[in-house]
Structure 1
Amino acid sequence: MSNIKNVFDISGRAMAAQLVRLNTVASNLANAGNIAGSKEEAYKSIKPVFETKFAEHAKTSGLATVDAVEVKQVSAEPEKSFMPEHPQADGDGYVYKAAVNVDQEMVEMMEAGRQYQNNIEVISTIRALMMRTLSLGK
């Protein structure tokens, strides 16, 4: 049964990592159109940093999962636009729009969602196999 538990653990951790990824995408998309009065105040998109985690007892077998170890700001420069009538414009009439690539974020969202669904399928499959195994004794 420990092998079955490993499958649930690996898939569960992978799903948790994809949720972190989806949360960062949601934050980036929510702030995509935000405008600020300076470069420093402009929203900076964020990305999760993932790390492969080997189970202590499984290092020799190669079983691994993934963890989101931190969320980092991307160093992209905000887009500078001349809008002197905007209430947040700086002294020179410029505003700074968040440097978020909406198309890239949408692709990231679809990818993360698909990987999450794949792990749900793994869990559903192992559950069905467990049920079939239990019914063998009937």
Structure 2
Amino acid sequence: MSFSAIYDIGGSAMRAQVMRLDTVASNLANADTAASSEAEAYRATKPVFSALYTQDFDNRSMSAQVQTLGVVKSDRTVEQRFEPNNPIANADGMVFYSNVNPVAEMADMMSASRAFQTSVEVMNRVSSMQQSLLKLGQ
């Protein structure tokens, strides 16, 4: 595997973790939002990733990367509260709150941050290996 392929893998992994952090940030920002109907309530989002492997036609080199398949909304039910004095309450006095679990989102954020840092470390080690090889050639 070439150094450039390793950089491609690390770069795609870093982009995936940035997308994951973006969805966590959006979910946390909307954690306490309220709506007047279940359909309007904010639903947590999660990115879906896949490993994509490619091989050259001559089978001499192989590469991989993280591919983003899309972003899906959570199917967890939204919280309903009886708040008849709330200005956005529906005719039954119900207010619908997002289905975001802040504790789960914080854990996901920590996991994504660590995965991003791991990719940075891989890139740094590959760079160090390249520098060592260049010194050997002198």
TM bin (shorter chain): over 0.9
TM-superposed deviation, 1:57: 2.6
Aligned to 1:3: 2
Matches of 1:113 and 1:63 in 2, distance apart?
Answer: 24
1:91-110 equivalent positions in 2, closer than 5 A: 91-110=91-110
Q: 1:137 to 1:10 in 2, by over 3 A?
A: same
Matches of 2:90 and 2:114 in 1, distance apart?
Answer: 42
- Is 2:126 aligned against 1:126? yes
Aligned to 2:34: 35
Aligned to 1:18: 17
What stretches of structure 1 of length at least 5 have no aligned partner? none
Cα offsets for 1:20-60 (capped at 9, x unmatched): 11111111111000000000000011111111100233988
Structure 2 length-normalised TM: 0.92
Quick check: 2:5–2:64 contact (8 Å CA) kept in 1? no
Matches of 2:50 and 2:98 in 1, distance apart?
Answer: 28
* Number of residue equivalences: 137
CA RMSD in angstroms, aligned pairs only:
1.8
Structure 1 length-normalised TM: 0.92
Partner SS state of residue 55, structure 1: strand
- State the identity %: 39
What stretches of structure 2 of length at least 5 have no aligned partner? none
Matches of 1:76 and 1:60 in 2, distance apart?
Answer: 46
TM-superposed deviation, 1:61: 7.3
Return structure 1 stretches of 4+ with deviation > 4 angstroms.
Answer: 58-63
Q: 1:60 to 1:35 in 2, by over 3 A?
A: farther
Partner SS state of residue 41, structure 2: coil
